[in-house]
Amino acid sequence: MRILYAVSDLLADLQSHFVDKYVLERELGGGGMSRVFVARDERLDRRVVIKLLPPQVTATISAERFKREIMLAAQLQHPNIVPVLSAGELGTLPYFVMPFIDGESLRARMMRGPLSARETVTILKDVVRALGFAHNRGIIHRDIKPDNVLLAAGAAVVTDFGVAKAISASRQQQGVRPVAPTMTGVGTSLGTPAYMAPEQAAADPSTDHRADLYALGIVAYEMLTGAPPFHGRTPQALLAAQLSEIPAPLTSRRYDVSVPLSTLVMQCLEKEPAKRPKSANEVLRMLDDPGVLVSDAFPAAEAPKQRRKRFTEIGIGVVVVAAVAVAWVLTDPGAPTKAAADSAKSARDSAARVAATGSAPATAVATGPHAVAVFPLVSVGSDAEAGQAAEGITSQLASALSRVPGVRVSSQTTAAAVRQGVRTPADAARALNATMLVEGTVQRASQRLRVSVRLVSVANDSTVWASTIDGTTSDELALQDSTVKAVAAAVTASVRR
């Protein structure tokens, strides 16, 4: 048989071993702990992938035990799991064979930039289905990461199930205590530091399926923000961070993510396994909630010309107010001429800045050490009843917060106008000279209403408080009261800190 790409003795030996089964075509890079080769199964006219463990990995493992463990994973037959077709040894080097997936890895997809919330949730559901199926059969992946998630034919599939466990178990068979891979340079034998749960980093023998959920949370975080929580650190620093450091809130790094989705991701990243979701099936139920795709953040930025036009219109309105003020000064000799003239000049200057720079007007904004911008709550969908509830809650919030000692609230009219022309909440709040902002959504399902609201600190662009409050359409006033009290308490607490 013809060898298409023989570049080493290893490749030649592998071809000789599979002479009656496969024709080796090429070696793939990026295999992590294994050497990965693409081969053609000419009998079935299909491509396969052969993964061979190199000597530096196999030096301290039992090949026979590894084969037994990997064949347990071969029992996993699920649409979102890449199956193991066979396993064996090339001399002393264990290998296993899997189908070739004609697509790209999630890692390759993320190289083109962060994913949308919808695309992220779609991929997460497929991965979680795979995890749930495996976990229910007592198999933990232990190395969930973008490289082990493949995208093909409109679905995500998980590869290398059971490999980390097989290596771990075969090392234990040899009397070798598992250690974190970064301490030995082995690569991904027991996990990858950037995605490793704290209990894995500590080599805790009681590590269970919830380690996969932690890794899933990091993958989700990276899909949405473009980088994992502790990106750019040394392997040792990564392990230390996984053990003790709380990741920055997802909402502090991306604003167009719904509160339910952000909450789920951060729950998966809890240091204590008991605080994470109990199972992959629970995560799937949370992902199936329509609310995970309902962003309560700002719409996409308008085109620069449109934004300039919008702010120019606001500026024209300021000029009109200024003109009225000047006319009043000229027709009323008893008016406080200097004060009115100064006010008119300030308004004209503000309008000029708006027209020249596209910045929000400086009038009608909150000032002071604790200034809050209350943006209109958004009705999910086109539901008129939810829209009315959103308007009522927004009005009550602005009124209630204005009575909190030490707090000033921006004009609702100006806040609404600025919101339409600025991409992120923090940018809008800065344009309003606010130090905090309040925003949220209202959603109706039959006779139930759900308010999702959050308080954002402008200084560090992070959510300092968020809550979901449920009520009914028959008692919207009670829902208003509950929401207003909760937000007012959060603002008061932030002011006192």
For residue range 103-133, what is the model confidence (pLDDT) as tens digits? 999 999 998 888 889 999 999 999 999 999 9
The model's pTM? 0.57
With a cut of 70, say whether residue 302 has pLDDT above it: no
pLDDT at 353 (0 to 100) = 47
Tokens of 83: 């199956």
Tokens of 200: 């894995």
Half-sphere exposure of 414 (CA within 13 A, CB side): 23
Going from the C-alpha of 294 to that of each of 216, 258, 288, 300, the distances in angstroms are 21, 6, 12, 14
Instruction: Quick: pLDDT tens for 193-249.
Output: 999 999 999 988 899 999 999 999 999 999 998 899 998 888 899 999 999 999 999
Contact status, residue 433 vs residue 371, Cβ threshold 8 Å: yes
What would you report as the CA-atom Rg of the chain, rounded to the nearest whole angstrom?
A: 29
Tell me what the pLDDT averaged over the chain comes to: 76
The catalytically annotated residue of 13, 20, 102, 143 is: 143
pLDDT at 448 (0 to 100) = 84
With H, G, I as helix, E, B as strand and everything else as coil, classify residue 11.
Answer: helix
**Closest by CA position to 215, among listed 137, 133, 277, 171:** 277
**pLDDT confidence tier of residue 422, bands split at 50, 70 and 90:** low
475 a catalytic residue: no
Question: In this predicted structure, which of 13-17, 413-417, 471-475 has the lowest mean pLDDT?
Answer: 413-417
Q: Which residue's entry shows tokens 């496969």?
A: 22
With a cut of 80, say whether residue 325 has pLDDT above it: no
User: Could you report how far apart the first and last alpha carbons of the chain are, in Å?
Assistant: 75
pLDDT at 31 (0 to 100) = 56
